Amino acid sequence: MNHPCEQAVRQSGAKPCDGVVVGVSGGADSSALLHALVRCGYRVTVCHVNHCLRGEESDADARFVKERCKAYDVPYFERCADVFKLAKKQKCTVEEAGRLVRYLFFEEIRQKTGAKFIMTAHTKNDQVETVLYRMARGTGLHGLCGIPKKRGVILRPFLSVTREEIEAYCRDEQIEYRTDSTNEMTVYARNRVRHTVIPALCAVHPGAVQAIARMTQSLSIDDDYFSFQTAKRLAAMRMANGKYDCRSLAHEHPAIVRRTALAILNETGAGESEILCERLCALFSMASGSLTAQNGVCFFIRRGVLTAGECTPASPYAVRMSPGMTANTPYGAVRCEKMTRADADVYQKVYKNLLYLALDYDTIKGQITLRSRIDGDRFCSAKTGVTRKIKKLFSESGFTPFEKSAVPIVCDETGVIGVVGFGAKKGMEVSGDTTNVLLFIIDKTEE
């Protein structure tokens, strides 16, 4: 007999000699998958997770699966997990906690037995339920593609088989299985979709399940193309120091920009969310700015270059300075030198890759101090002639928390007289009347 269930197993991509870890709950779907694998000659190891949600019924499921494995003469592994307690601890749904436990267990046994693949018994109906549930939550193209038939070592051969075909297979082959009493409970979101939404859709169009399954296959092809283009764009954007050159995104289609944002959020550990994605897309087009994710990952953009990192400020510092001294700061080594105007000009031309802050030495009053920013600091830049709070200056420049707390500020007895990156205070800048220059030479530390 060449039943669709057995065809699906043979076309799964796994060879009988590869070794397969299969998750078996005891229900019709997983029992049919186990039977088909054994019938087709696969080397099988069974895993069963007792979720401890239904008391004696859960224990009976475990005993049933264990007995079936004895009958098939296949290895059996079992794990008990209080997923209700785990869900509370992880602050997630019971379904999500159960899924986490199962896949971790499956992978553990796969490595222990040397199996090549993990198989689960998700069906075409499960695919449709998943897509409809994601639609209700407002998913994008990737979410509409549903459950992938293959993800890494995980194979789902029954995604091409309907639940009706599986139940017919169980009848024809006299496959015993158990029915989970919670399958009828509409307290679970998936069950509400199964028992309410899908029947309503089938009443409108009898072929709804098949049609939605075809849609996911078609959209998967489109999704693969967009994923390929996004991967190319992201590869071109990555810089040697772990940053991203975002300037090329100005010429990309919004679909690629959005997917690139999601990819960056994912690979930096910021977490994928629609709100974060929208904010990161907006950040791409800014000259400078910042964005903070809830889990502490920060994004900063300046001149089209995006930096991702932790929001960790530097420790405060303050150092008394005089010509000839060098201070080691979180921002880098800062050397203070007194020079003639002519020598200072030559020095900055020769060593043009360094960062400088130049002041008219003869305008300085009293002791010179090099320090980090403190609350209330104000600065009147010689470039603009406008007095502003340094905190606001740094924020508008898209500084990271590290930079905001590490950028060196130069003070004398009158207050702030210079800020690295922003120049000298008005009236203390190097001009045509300057005879002596106090030059701060910064060898910046790479973050």
State the binding site for ATP. Answer: 25-30
Q: Do the Cβ atoms of 159 and 127 come closer than 8 Å?
A: yes
- Measured CA to CA, the distance from residue 93 to residue 376 in angstroms comes to 47
DSSP string over 284-304: HT-SEEEEE-TTSEEEEEETT
In this structure, what token pair is assigned to residue 409? Answer: 């500020």
385: left (phi over 0), alpha (psi -120 to 50) or beta: left
Pairing of strands 318-321, 415-419: unpaired
Longest dimension (CA), the chain: 101
Dihedrals φ, ψ of 239, to 5°?
-105, 165
Query: Quick count: other Cβ atoms within 10 Å of Cβ 394?
Result: 21
Residue 369 near residue 321 (C-beta atoms within 8 A): yes
First to last CA, the chain: 65
Q: Are 417 and 424 in contact (CB under 8 A)?
A: yes
Residue for token pair 């919004």: 254
- 38's tokens: 């054994």
Amino acid residing at 106: F
Length of the chain: 447
Q: Measure the CA–CA gap between 379 and 411, rounded to whole angstroms.
A: 10
- Alpha carbon distance 423, 388 (integer Å): 14
Q: Which of 327, 325, 328, 329 is nearest to 316 (CA)?
A: 329
DSSP β-ladder status, 409-412 and 288-292? unpaired
DSSP-based three-state secondary structure for 438: strand
CA separation for the pair 28, 169 (Å, rounded): 9
Closest by CA to 24, choosing from 87, 76, 94, is 76
Residue type, 401: P
Short-list 104, 105, 106, 84, CA closest to 95 = 84
Binding residues: 25-30
| Residues 426, 390 contacting (CB under 8 angstroms) | no
